[in-house]
Amino acid sequence: MNAAASFQGFTNTACAFYPCHSGIKREFNCLFCYCPLYAYNCPGTYSMLIDRHGQPRKDCSQCRLPHDGYAASWEFIQKWLEQPTLWNSETAHERHQ
């Protein structure tokens, strides 16, 4: 990775959870360990679960988009943060049927 793009990601191979997502083909990007799109609608692969308080939550453990390559994941996050819309379980339920 060149110096100009170094802000776009890194791989923390010393992390106890590395790799947290399988199937990554390019450099594993740990920059978005906590995805900034969690609260928003996004095209990522996720499922819904109900927490112990009965609240619907996104389970993004199958999503690879913010981790697959430094430049690709950086561009993906930037694109979806340009016009974010909040995620809600009603629209997510319709999407996953």
User: Count of domains in the chain?
Assistant: 1
6 lies in some domain: no
82 lies in some domain: yes
**Amino acid in position 22:** S
Q: CA geometry: angle at 2 spanning 72 and 37, to 5°? A: 30
Please, which pLDDT band fits residue 97 given cuts at 50, 70 and 90?
A: very low
pLDDT digits 0-9 by tens, 24-79: 888 899 999 999 999 999 999 899 999 999 999 999 988 999 999 999 999 999 99
Please, which pLDDT band fits residue 84 given cuts at 50, 70 and 90?
A: very high
Q: Are strands 47-50 and 56-59 parallel, antiparallel or unpaired?
A: antiparallel
8 lies in some domain: no
pLDDT digits 0-9 by tens, 15-25: 999 988 888 88
